[in-house]
Amino acid sequence: MNAWGSNSASTSSKRRDKLYIVAEILEIVKDGVLKTQIMYRANLSFTQLNEYLRFMMKNELIEKVLVSEKEVYKATEKGINFLQRYREITALLREESNNIKNNVKIPPPHLLKRN
C-alpha cells in the first residue's frame, strides 16, 4: 500500500513530483507534528525529509516550534495559502483532464479538500 492508501501497481509505481510532496507535507503539518511523523506519513527517507524541511523553512512554508520540549513542525499562514492554491490548480487540472486525456498527475482527494 502506498502513502495514499492505494495498493494498485499503476499508482504505486509512479513517482511523486516535488510540488506534490511539498503539498503532502503541508497537509501533514497543518496542526503541528514531530519530524518522524512527517517522515513516515509522507513516506520519505530521513535525507529526503531534511531536504524538504530545509527548503520549506527557508521559504517560510513551515516553522519549527517547541511544544513540551519537543521540536514540532507546523504550517505557516504562507504554507496554508500555498496548499490552498495548490488545491485550486489541481482542481482545474482535474476538470481539464475530464475533457482531455493527458498525463497530468492529480493528487489524492485529501490534498484537495477545503478547510
Q: List the domain boundaries for the chain.
A: 17-112
Q: What pLDDT tens digit does each residue of the chain (115 aa) get? A: 333 344 433 344 467 899 999 999 999 999 999 999 999 999 999 999 999 999 999 999 999 999 999 999 999 999 999 999 999 998 988 877 676 655 666 677 777 666 5
pLDDT digits (tens, 9 = 90+) for 45-78: 999 999 999 999 999 999 999 999 999 999 999 9
Tell the CATH topology of 17-112: Arc Repressor Mutant, subunit A (1.10.10)
Under 8 Å between Cβ of 14 and 106: no
